Amino acid sequence: HAITKPTCSLVSYRRATMSSASDKIICVRCKRQNATFFVRVKTTQTIADVKQEISDALSCSSDDSSPSASPTAVPPQKMRIYASDKEGSDPLPNAATLADHEIASDAILYVVFRKAGKEDVEDATADADDDCWEGIAIETGEME
């Protein structure tokens, strides 16, 4: 799979940013709560495809002994991806491509999961109650 752990190497990052054509491979940062991981994707991939890449990355990292590793993979339909961590922003639609939203290499995507016990709605893109979803609680990186 197109997964690098824990970060994209400088060589793969340069290859991704030097690619040309519409099927450009990019490395994006995926943030969820206090964890950040990187996935390599094509700009022509849909958000649904990116969710699958994230699910695959999380299932690979569950073999890892790090405390931030997810115990099991989260299915793509139980996650949302946002291009902004601003309150009130809308999740990216599954059918849209990264290029549609001008997601470039080294962009940050914010990943949230459906809350435990709130998994009765099958489609994560349905207009479900936002209380069913985790908040976008991201570390700001500011020093205290």
Residue 8: other Cβ atoms inside 10 A: 23
Query: According to the model, what pLDDT value does residue 115 have?
Result: 80
Residue 57, pLDDT score: 83
Six-digit token string for 69? 């590793």
Residue 20 has what pLDDT?
Answer: 46
Give the pLDDT of residue 72.
Answer: 63
pTM comes to 0.67
- The predicted pLDDT at position 62 comes to 53
The angle subtended at Cα 125 by Cα 121 and Cα 129, nearest 5°, is 55
Enter the tokens of residue 116. Answer: 């435990």
Separation CA 39–CA 53 (nearest Å): 7
pLDDT in tens, the chain (144 residues): 444 444 455 455 555 555 444 678 999 999 988 888 899 999 999 999 999 999 988 887 655 444 444 446 788 999 999 998 777 788 999 999 999 999 999 999 999 988 876 555 555 445 556 677 777 655 444 433
Q: What is the DSSP string of 27-38?
A: EEEEEETTEEEE
64, 73 Cβ separation under 8 angstroms = no
pLDDT at 69: 45
